[in-house]
C-alpha cells in the first residue's frame, strides 16, 4: 500500500496510489482522522481502484499528518563518516529535526538570510506505526508502518560553527521534505538493501545503498525506544550515504534556483527547487 496526502499546504487529504501510479482520494474512508494508527487501519481495508482519481498536478504533502517528532541518526553510513573526517560511531548518534521543518516532497527548499552553507542528504525514513517503548531488536520491525524518502536538508554553518548545535542546522522551515508516499512495510521487503541517489542540477552527487548503514533499521528503532517513546507517525531518518556537499573538495552548497532530485528504490522520487526568502 502506498499512502499519500494531497492538496494545499495545511489542507491535505489522505489518498492511496494504485498500481498505475494514479493518486486516489481516500478522504471518504479516513475523513478528518488524525490518529495515524487508526488511519492505517482504515486504509488497510480499502482498494485503491475503488476510489476516485485525483486530478493530475495536485500538490503532494508529507504522507503523515501531524508528525510528532523526527529523530535522526547521524554518521550512520561508514562511507559518509569517512568523507566528513569523523570516526564511525560505536553507537548511534541521535539528534532531532523540528516537526515544523517537515514539508511536501516537491515543495521548495527555502533558504533564509545568513544561510549560505545549505547541504543535501538523501535518507531512508522509517515511519512508526504503533506506540513503541523499549522494544527488542527482534520485534522492532513489527512497530514500523512503512518507509518514505526523507531529504535531511542541513545548514552546515548553523550545525557545526559557533555553538555547533546540530538542531539549529537541521530544523529550518522546509528542511525536511518527506514522500512522495509512504510505502507500507509489507511491500518494501528488506530495508537494508535499497539503492538511493541524489542529483543537483542533473549531476549525480549521491549514489549509495542502505546496505552500508552502520546500524540497521531494526537496531535503530530498538535503540531509540530505550530513550524515548515513539508514537504512531513519528519518523526516524536513518542517515545518508557519501556525496554530500560538505564532503566535496572544495565544499559545494545549494544556491538559489538549484534543482534537486532524489529517490530510493521502490519509494519514489522527490524534486525541489531552492529559493531564497526574505
pLDDT at position 53, please?
98
Q: What domains lie within the chain, and their CATH numbers?
A: 2-61 (no CATH), 70-276 (3.90.850.10)
User: pTM for the whole thing?
Assistant: 0.96
CA dihedral 48, 54, 56, 59 (to 10 degrees): -100
- The pLDDT, as a whole number, for residue 240 is 96
pLDDT at 198: 98
pLDDT of residue 236: 98
Write out residues in the chain with pLDDT < 70, as ranges: none
The C-alpha cell of 26 is what? 481516500
Question: Hey, is 262 helix, strand or coil?
Answer: strand
What confidence tens digit (pLDDT) does each residue in 33-68 have? Answer: 889 999 999 999 999 999 999 999 999 999 999 899
Q: Report how far residue 16's alpha carbon sits from residue 275's, in angstroms, rounded to the nearest whole number.
A: 30
Task: Give the integer Cα–Cα distance in Å for 45 and 200.
Answer: 39
Amino acid at each position: 500500500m502506498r499512502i499519500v496526502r494531497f492538496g494545499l499546504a495545511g489542507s491535505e487529504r489522505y489518498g492511496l496510489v494504485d498500481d498505475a501510479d494514479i493518486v486516489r482520494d481516500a478522504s471518504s474512508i479516513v475523513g478528518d482522522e488524525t490518529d495515524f494508527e487508526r488511519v492505517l487501519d482504515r486504509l488497510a481495508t480499502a482498494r485503491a481502484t475503488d476510489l476516485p482519481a485525483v486530478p493530475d498536478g495536485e500538490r503532494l504533502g508529507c504522507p503523515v499528518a501531524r508528525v510528532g517528532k523526527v529523530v535522526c541518526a547521524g554518521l550512520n553510513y561508514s562511507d559518509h563518516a569517512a568523507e566528513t573526517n569523523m570516526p564511525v560511531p560505536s553507537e548511534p548518534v541521535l539528534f532531532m529535526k523540528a516537526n515544523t521543518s517537515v514539508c511536501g516532497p516537491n515543495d521548495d527548499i527555502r533558504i533564509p538570510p545568513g544561510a549560505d552553507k545549505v547541504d543535501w542528504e538523501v535518507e531512508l525514513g522509517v515511519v512508526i506505526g504503533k506506540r513503541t517503548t523499549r522494544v527488542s531488536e527482534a520485534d522492532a520491525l513489527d512497530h514500523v508502518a512503512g518507509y518514505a524518502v526523507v531529504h535531511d536538508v542541513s545548514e552546515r554553518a548553523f550545525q557545526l560553527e559557533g555553538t555547533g548545535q546540530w538542531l539549529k542546522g537541521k530544523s529550518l522551515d522546509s528542511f525536511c521534505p518527506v514522500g512522495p508516499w509512504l510505502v507500507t512495510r509489507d511491500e518494501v521487503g528488506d530495508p537494508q538493501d535499497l539503492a538511493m541517489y541524489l542529483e543537483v542540477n542533473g549531476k549525480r552527487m549521491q549514489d549509495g545503498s542502505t546496505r552500508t548503514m552502520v546500524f540497521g533499521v531494526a537496531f535503530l528503532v530498538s535503540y531509540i525506544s530505550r530513550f524515548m517513546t515513539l508514537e504512531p507517525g513519528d519518523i526516524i531518518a536513518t542517515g545518508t550515504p557519501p556525496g554530500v556537499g560538505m564532503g566535496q573538495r572544495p565544499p559545494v552548497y545549494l544556491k538559489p534556483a538549484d534543482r534537486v532530485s532524489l529517490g530510493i528504490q521502490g519509494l519514489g522520487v522527490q524534486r525541489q527547487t531552492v529559493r531564497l526568502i526574505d
